[in-house]
Amino acid sequence: MAALEDLKVLIVDDSITVREMMKHQVKSKGIETIETAKNGEEAFEKYQSFSPDLVFMDINMPVVNGVEGLRKIMSFDSDAYVVMLSSLGTMEKIKETLELGAKNFLMKPAEDKHLNRIMDELVS
């Protein structure tokens, strides 16, 4: 895998505040290639054109939620590295996303130490 600063990251959340906060956190790690999306449908479209190494995706979003967005991405690329995000994490949703192929799950707001661990695991 590439060096940390070479990662391409897609951040998916219906809240512009969360997208900007996470973008800032990811940029602080030296990563410059970042795209954002506001729902699962937009995430799938961006995934196809952007080919990110890492996707952070909220579960609860309008239009197409994160579970459905994850399902679409995994059917397109079974090796996708998707980390689910939620402030309303329930054990059922966490279990469902992990069974669909999500690599990890973070509660929002994501703490730097958890983001660092995920990105470090991806490049090691």
Full set of structural domains in the chain with CATH: 4-123 (3.40.50.2300)
Report, as an integer, the average pLDDT of 67-80. Answer: 97
Residues 6+ positions from 92 with CB-CB distance below 8 Å = none
pLDDT score of 93 = 84
Residue 3 has a pLDDT of 84
Phi-psi region of 101 (alpha: psi -120 to 50; beta: other; left: phi over 0): left
Q: Which two tokens stand for residue 81?
A: 């590295």
How far is the CA of 6 from the CAs of 32, 40, 44, 56, 58, in angstroms?
Answer: 8, 24, 21, 17, 23
Q: What percent of the chain has pLDDT over 90?
A: 73
Nearest-Å Rg of the Cα atoms of the chain is 13
What pLDDT is stored for residue 89 in this prediction? 61
Q: Which residue has the tokens 């996470």?
A: 22
Least confident among 42-46, 51-55, 72-76, 118-122: 118-122
Position 91 pLDDT exceeds 70: yes
Position with higher pLDDT, 95 vs 99: 99
The more confidently predicted of residues 71 and 87 is 71
Higher-confidence position of 33 and 124: 33
| pTM reported for the whole predicted model | 0.93
Q: 122 falls in which pLDDT band (50, 70, 90)? A: confident
